[in-house]
Structure 1
C-alpha cells in the first residue's frame, strides 16, 4: 500500500477518496488481473464498475454528470492504479481524451459523450500515431476531406490505446494538407461508422491488459458537427493538452516505481543466501538506499508539480521534465529490483517481472525521453 504520510498535495477529503479507490481496486481489479493479462483486454463491465465507483473523469463538471473535482483526484487514481497495475486505458480516458471534449467540444458533443464516458458506457481513444509518424505529429498523413456537410476520412493509425474496446475515437487528421501542422484538425469518429476498421490487438512487450491496436479509416463519413473545436486548430489543441498528459504519466511512473521498490524490499528480507537474508549484504542495502533516496525526492517533486498544475502554473518544460525524470527513474528502480530478485525476477509469477516489462514503454509514449530533453533544452 502506498504510504502517503507527509504528502503536501492532498487534504483529508482527498485521502478519503483514496481509501475508496484502494478498496475498489482490491475488490474489482486485483482478482481479475491475471485473466486480463492473458486475454490482452479488460472486461467492459470493469469500465462500468469504475463509472459506478466515481473514479472515471472526476474533474468533469456536475452539469454533465461528473463530480467537478480538481485534478488531484485524477492523480490519486493514477497513483493507486500505477501501484496496482498500470491501467493506461483508464487514465487515458480520465486524464487525456475527456479534456479534449471538455475544452473544445460543442455543447451537443459534451452532452452526448461526457455522461457516457463518466459512466464507463463509452470508451474513448485518441488516434495520433501513424506507421510513419510517431512523436512528429506534423508528419500525420491521415486526411479528412470536406464534402458538403461531411468529412471523408482516410488513413491508418497504430499503437492506439483502447483500440479494440473504444466506442469513440478522436482522430488527428489533415483537413488542409497544404498547411502542414497548421492544417491539422481533431474529428470525432464513432466506432459504428462505415469504413472504420480495427486491426489486430498488438502483441506488446508489456501492458498486456491494455488493448493496443491498429485502426483503419477507409472513406469514413462523419458530419461536420463531429469536428472538435475549430478546423485546422488541432495541432494547437494537442500541444495545449500535453502538459497534463505528461504529468499523468509521471505520476503513474512514480507509483509503479514505489511498488517495485516495496516488492524488492519484501523479497530481500525473506530470501536467504549464504546463511543470511540478502538484505543483510551491503550491496543490497546500498542499492536499496539509493533507490529509496530517489523515491523520496520523486514524491516531493510529484507534489510540487501537481500543485503547480492545479494552480495552472505548470509549464510545458516542467511537465516534460517531470515525465522524463520520473519515467527514467522508474526504469532504474524496476531494473534494479528485478536484479535483486535474481532468477525469480525473470519469472512472470513475481510482480517485479510485470512491473519491469510494463515500465519500458513509459519512456516512449507521451513523448520519448529524447523528445523530452529536446523540449527542455529548447527553453534554455
Structure 2
C-alpha cells in the first residue's frame, strides 16, 4: 500500500501559528511545477520491484488549492504515466475555503481528486483573524455547501483548539456547526506555539501563552466525547472519522508503509531508508530535487522508536506479537516500563495490543518518550 505525497510550498499569506515550509512568492508556481514533474519522472523507480499499485496520492502544503485544476491534472497525469495507480486510489487535496468556487470544485472532480481536506480551523471570525487566516467564517460555511453540492462525499475539515484567547465551550460549539454538514473526517489539533512563528514572537514578549495542561486535557476529552456522540471514531490522537473513512494516506505513515514525497522539504521512506528534500525553493527550482536530497539508513533502534511513536498515537495501539517478532531485544528492555505504565493505568493491554487508556492517551507523547531506546 504505497503512496505519494506532493508538497505544494505556496501560500498567499503566512498564518500566525504555522511553521511548515512555504513561500509567498506565487510567481514561481509554473517554474515549480516543471521541476516537480521532473522529480516525479526521475524517481519513477523509487518503489523498486514492488508491484503494488499506488493506493494514495496526497497534495499537502502550503496551499494546494492555489494551483489551477489544469496544474493538478498535469501532476496526476505525470504520476499515472510513471507509477501504477490503483483504480480505487484515495486522492486528497488540501484546500482553503476562500479558494473554492463551484466551478473550481467541478473541475477538480474531473481531475480525479476524490477527497478534500478543508482548512477551516475555526467557524468564528475572531479566531480566524487572530490566527492570521485569510478566509472568514461565512466562506467556510459556503465552501462546505458547494463541496457537497458538487458531489464530493469523502470530505474532512481541520480545526484548532487550545487557542489562548478562547475556552473549551467556544471550541466545542464548532462541532455544533460541523454537525450541519455530512463531513466524514475531522482533524483537530492543539495549538503549539513554535519559536519561528508570529505567535512565537508574541510568546517571547509575554503577550501570548498556551493554556495549562489540565485545561487542554479537559478540552481534548470533551472533544472526544462530543465527536463520539456525532458518530466519529477517534482513531488517532488528532484524527476522527465516520463510516470507516479514515485517512488512508496518513494511516499508511503510521503503519510504516513506503511512500514517496516530492517537492522541497518533502520526506520519503522506502522501508529501510529515509530521504528528505532540502527546504529550499530557490535551489529546487534552479537545480532540481537531486541537488539537495539527503538520506539515512534507519537502524533497528530507529525503526523500533518510530514504531512506538507511531502506533501508540493510534487507538489500536501496538501489536505485542509484532513487536516481539521484529524487535525482541528492545521489547525485553522496555517490557518492565510498559508494565509500570499499565499498573498506573496509563496503558492497557487487551487482545494482544497495548494502547493508551483514557487517563494516558492525552499524555501519550510523554509515555512514548519514556519508552524510547536512547542507546
Q: TM-score band, normalised by the shorter chain?
A: under 0.3
Greater percentage in strand? 2
TM-score by length of 1: 0.27
TM-score by length of 2: 0.27
